[in-house]
Amino acid sequence: MPELRQNPATKEWVIIATERARRPEDFPQKPPEIQTPEEIEKCPFCEGHESETPPEIFAYREYGTAPNSPGWWIRVIPNKFAALIRDGLPKREKIDHFFRRMDGIGEHEVLIEHPKHDFTIATMEEKQVEEIFLAYRERYLDLCKNPKFELVMVFKNHGQAAGTSVRHPHSQIIASPVTPQHVRHRLEEAMRYFDDNGVCVYCAMIEEELKMKERLVLETDNFVAFEPFASRSPFETLILPKKHSSSFQFITSDETKEMAYVTKAILSKLYKSLKDPDYNYVIHSSPCHEKELEYYHWHMQILPRITALAGFELGSGIYINTVIPEKAADFLRNA
Amino acid sequence: MPELRQNPATKEWVIIATERARRPEDFPQKPPEIQTPEEIEKCPFCEGHESETPPEIFAYREYGTAPNSPGWWIRVIPNKFAALIRDGLPKREKIDHFFRRMDGIGEHEVLIEHPKHDFTIATMEEKQVEEIFLAYRERYLDLCKNPKFELVMVFKNHGQAAGTSVRHPHSQIIASPVTPQHVRHRLEEAMRYFDDNGVCVYCAMIEEELKMKERLVLETDNFVAFEPFASRSPFETLILPKKHSSSFQFITSDETKEMAYVTKAILSKLYKSLKDPDYNYVIHSSPCHEKELEYYHWHMQILPRITALAGFELGSGIYINTVIPEKAADFLRNA
């Protein structure tokens, strides 16, 4: 059973994921960087290997094909090495009246983005990317209904520097029984701005970026993509809906398709101009059971992982970025 | 001139380090992992190459030897690719009444830990490690005196996964003109605990760890080293002074030597049992101009970088740790 533990000094939660636990003595071996042809042959995410994964939760598949058989184009399964598991109640407990823990109750899903091994969003057909994003929405809405979960996070790790050794294109969705400090602080800062100014800080940011234009990368009817003024790392890109909304759960299916288009466009620019860099993306959204909040604005953050996080960043939270965001935007606009 | 920029939504600062800026189009090339013999031959940190670095700020050297010549055993120089620079005034400015920036005023020093290229703290003599820590203290005290600086951070990046490509043993010291949100939040949480309980949360944690013993790795007269209950990553280790103190600037020279001993012991255990893993360490201390604070406790955090930070960690701030801290402690105790 995985476990959530809280740091008593910082109130930050960590997940001790015993399901995927390695013994300490197994650590000197680093994971291999590139999968061998034999490993690709055995990839459990490839079409035809459905029996090698846990049973599917959800799939887009051809009419008449049975679950856990070929015929799908998007497939969602429980993560075999889940950081959080479904069964049980997330009850906080105290150890020795000092430390706080709870069972690692939640959900950890893998969304297989394509039946074939050698694609990535940058190289997939438009239609397939739309379906990936529609599937994100389906799973997001479903998980948000569960009263046990406070935060649902859709994210993607692409490449080893971004934390994955699996090359088959996939995203992940984690439903957490706690709202972490990190998210609380973002909400509180946004609330403070709203209290001072009477407008959402992200709405104000969109207005600024559309006016100044120098950090803008892409604009569609309903979305805007730009390099943030205080980009944490080279080519960090934010995608925001222009219309104010605090949660990804309020997106329409048409908007979802438009968001898929914008995301694919940005990832294609990164793929071409930086030669398929490792990256993460994350959808930041308000906690599940909140209604529409006037002070927060959901958004997607794309973080290329081309520079390492070092001691100063980890200790101070101040990131050192070696590329001027306006230059990065200019570079991506022309890519 | 480097620049500090604040994210208007989160109030987090980033440094845009133009001094070390790379052009966007230079990014597809990843830095080489291992230095070639020719690169080692040319290493500017090696004894005899003093003229290839900026002039030294400080050194421990043999009596009668001139600055910037051989004869030193510890040498502190300005970072050639400084994230922050000394000259100027750290004045906040607003852009378009929305974005906040300031010139990147501060200090960024490199502490060369040894005249020779192929040592690391785990393999150095005890005496040399003591001198490294005494030099940290000297620089810390000196930088803290400068009214322009709010936070001084001593840290080390060891190995490529920890953010360095330079193998010559070195640490860094950055003096920042702002106290970042990340540090403010830690101080606020500690203050909240103090307000509720009337004791420092780190003092309470030390008491717990000494009582429970299962996460303890090492204890000396004045220091304790343990795997935190909510370790963020495998083998994260904290070193704390037993006596309450909020800042590294209040450490005595005898305590500094004892701290060097404890740090070297932990790093030697990691070196032997995990085969020289990449790691960062950071000294967390209260802002410079604070007097002794009753609610905060300075400490050193050692973070082996054997698993990558992925999208979920970056997005939620919840770390997934695959090794149970009690098992990690047991493993290190016996290493």
- A182 interaction partners in chain B (CB closer than 8 Å): 316-318
In single-letter form, the type of residue at position B12 comes to: E
Query: Given the DSSP bridges, would you call strands A170-176 and A216-219 parallel, antiparallel or unpaired?
Result: unpaired
Q: How large is the average pLDDT for residues A87-92?
A: 89
**What residues contact residue A145 under an 8 Å CB cut-off, 6+ apart?**
none
> Is residue A290 pLDDT above 90, yes or no?
yes
Which pLDDT does position B21 carry in this prediction? 64
Which pLDDT does position A132 carry in this prediction? 98
Helix (H) or strand (E) holding B60: strand B58-61
**Average pLDDT taken over every residue of chain A:** 94
Contact criterion met (CB < 8 Å) for A316 and B96: no
> Is residue A25 pLDDT above 80, yes or no?
no
**What residues contact residue A134 under an 8 Å CB cut-off, 6+ apart?**
A253, A256, A257, A260
Which pLDDT does position A90 carry in this prediction? 86
Contact criterion met (CB < 8 Å) for B151 and A5: no
Distance CA A284, CA B311 (A): 11
Distance CA B10, CA B291 (A): 28
Residue B300 DSSP SS3: strand
DSSP assignment of A143-198: HHT-TT-SEEEEEEEESGGGT----S-EEEEEEESS--HHHHHHHHHHHHHHHHHS
Which pLDDT does position A5 carry in this prediction? 97
Count how many pairs of residues, chain A against chain B, have C-beta atoms within 8 Å.
287
Contact criterion met (CB < 8 Å) for B5 and A153: no
Q: Give all domains of chain B, ordered by start, each with its CATH number.
A: 3-20+35-181 (3.30.428.10), 182-333 (3.30.428.10)
Contact criterion met (CB < 8 Å) for A230 and B11: no
Which pLDDT does position B34 carry in this prediction? 64
Name the percent of chain A lying above pLDDT 90: 87
Taking only the tens place, the pLDDT of each residue in A104-144 is: 999 999 999 999 999 999 999 999 999 999 999 999 999 99
Q: How large is the average pLDDT for residues A78-106?
A: 93
Which pLDDT does position B28 carry in this prediction? 66
**What residues contact residue A78 under an 8 Å CB cut-off, 6+ apart?**
A54, A55, A57, A86, A107, A108, A109, A110
**What residues contact residue B107 under an 8 Å CB cut-off, 6+ apart?**
B78, B84, B85, B86, B143, B146, B149, B173, B174, B175
Q: Which residues pair with A226 in a beta bridge?
A: A216, A238
Positions in chain B short of pLDDT 70: 19-22, 28-34
**What residues contact residue A221 under an 8 Å CB cut-off, 6+ apart?**
A242, A258
Closest-approach residue (CA) in chain A for B204: A98
Decide if B249 contacts B144 (C-beta within 8 A): yes
Contact criterion met (CB < 8 Å) for B310 and A18: no
Compute CA distances B246 → A131, B51, B254, whole Å: 53, 39, 18
Of A182, A310, A318, which has the smallest distance from its Cβ to B164's Cβ? A310
* Residue A203 labelled as part of a binding site: no
Of B30, B189, B277, which has the smallest distance from its Cβ to A11's Cβ? B189
Taking only the tens place, the pLDDT of each residue in A208-222 is: 999 999 999 999 999
Taking alpha carbons only, the member of B170, B167, B130, B135 closest to residue B263 is B130
Query: Given the DSSP bridges, would you call strands B319-321 and A13-16 parallel, antiparallel or unpaired?
Result: parallel
To the nearest whole Å, the CA of B66 is away from the closest chain A CA by: 32
Q: Which of A186, A314, A326, A334 to mutate to test the interface with B (most CBs of B within 10 A)?
A: A314
**Six-digit token pair at A317?**
């939270």
To the nearest whole Å, the CA of A73 is away from the closest chain B CA by: 24
Name the percent of chain A lying above pLDDT 70: 96
**What residues contact residue B269 under an 8 Å CB cut-off, 6+ apart?**
B217, B332, B335
* Residue A46 labelled as part of a binding site: yes
To the nearest whole Å, the CA of B281 is away from the closest chain A CA by: 6
Number of CB atoms found within 10 A of residue A112's CB: 25
Distance CA A253, CA B55 (A): 61
Catalytic site positions of B: 170
Which pLDDT does position A36 carry in this prediction? 76
Catalytic site positions of A: 170
End-to-end CA distance of chain B: 47
Helices and strands (H and E) in chain B: how many:
7, 15
* Residue B97 labelled as part of a binding site: no
Q: What ipTM describes this predicted complex?
A: 0.94
φ/ψ of A225, rounded to 5, equals: -125, 130
- B24 interaction partners in chain A (CB closer than 8 Å): 234-235, 273, 323, 327-328, 331
Distance CA A108, CA A113 (A): 16
* Residue B117 labelled as part of a binding site: yes
To the nearest whole Å, the CA of B102 is away from the closest chain A CA by: 12
Contact criterion met (CB < 8 Å) for A27 and B316: no
Of A22, A156, A317, which has the smallest distance from its Cβ to B181's Cβ? A317
Taking only the tens place, the pLDDT of each residue in A30-81 is: 554 567 778 788 899 999 999 999 999 999 999 999 999 999 999 999 999 8
In single-letter form, the type of residue at position A78 comes to: P
Q: Which residues pair with A282 in a beta bridge?
A: A155, A301
Distance of CA B265 to the CA centre of its chain: 17
**What residues contact residue A321 under an 8 Å CB cut-off, 6+ apart?**
A231, A232, A233, A234, A236, B14, B15, B16, B17
Q: How large is the average pLDDT for residues A88-106?
A: 93
